[in-house]
Amino acid sequence: KKLEANEPHTFRFKVPNHKVVVIDDIVRGRVEWDADSTVGDFILIRSSGVPVYNFCVAVDDAMMGITHVIRAEEHLTNTLRQCIILDAMGYSRPRYAHCSLILGQDRSKMSKRHGATSIDQFKNEGFLPAAMKNYLALLGWNDGTEKEIFSESELIERFDLRRVVKSPAVFDMQKLRWINGQHLRSMNIEEVIPLAKESLIREKICSNDDDMFVKLATITCKGSMEVITDLVNQVKEILDYPLKLTLSSEEAKVMISDGLLEVALGVLTAYREDDFNFTSEQNASSEWKVWVKGFGKKLNRKGKRLFHPLRVCITGCLSGADV
């Protein structure tokens, strides 16, 4: 009647009564719908003449010969409509895999309020591409072993949709940081230096010409970094030498009462006597350890009573990169 009267109208798909649609979902197993009661006679073409998403997608999948559709569980009812359309047109359905949603730590759907929302933001916060791929792959999947650190080639080789679980994964920023730290520590120093330099320049800590400074900062901080920006914070702390603030803490008060002054005077004497003029950059670490051992014997100190006050005297901090 609307056609004859030239009135605005839509085109709907007439769903047969009691029609049941079943798919064998790779992730969720058998999924079954009573189509009539779930979606009813749904719209294919709007009154504006524009076809709806599900009609377009079904036709597009058929024309492109799509074999697998992998998407979020939120699309399950869309899959129902698309299967009905594909069946009506006489095309084969693709295999479907509906993955569970990623949740925030409060177990609600992941959203902007849970933190970084763009790749650029993660990059600026110091996360590596390899670590991001590694962590995201582990959200709802494992290879059947206890292994958690994967290279990209290992992920490609081992990934199998049949090992994706249907229970929702929780996005854990601390776990992402840990995985990023593992990837950082597996890189050689020459690979980390350009990343460190970019961050240090962005924070105006050094200039493009300060290559030696960047190298020494990277060598100093690499072992304790989880993300590249940790280096920035550690370098700032080292340069600030916040000794006065550190000495006001409760932990430092115990150290002060246990002869911190004696250690400080010993370090100053060693510096004035040029004890820290090591023979080469390569030998600095081993020569430093020899000096510390001798220094401890001289003051009759070892373990925490030696290393902790020594760190405070040299860095002005209670914790941080390996001295």
| CA 33 – CA 35 distance, rounded (Å) | 5
Rounded to an integer, what distance in angstroms lies between the CA atom of residue 85 and that of residue 12?
11
Extract the runs of DSSP E, i.e. beta strands, from 67-144. Answer: 68-72, 95-99, 102-103
pLDDT tens sequence across 224-273: 899 999 999 889 988 888 888 888 988 888 888 988 999 999 999 999 98
Give per-residue burial for 114-137: e unless 16+ CB within 10 Å, then b.
beeeeeeebbebbbbebbbbbbeb
Burial class (CB in 10 A: 0-12, 13-18, 19+), 17: exposed
CA distance to 103, 130, 234, 255, 320, per residue, from 317 (Å): 37, 32, 10, 12, 7
In angstroms, rounded to a whole number, what is the distance separating the alpha carbons of residues 308 and 317?
9
pLDDT digits (tens, 9 = 90+) for 124-170: 889 999 999 999 999 999 999 999 999 999 999 999 999 999 999 99
Residues 6+ apart with CB under 8 A from 25: 31, 96, 97, 98
Tens of pLDDT along 80-110? 999 999 999 999 999 999 999 888 888 888 7
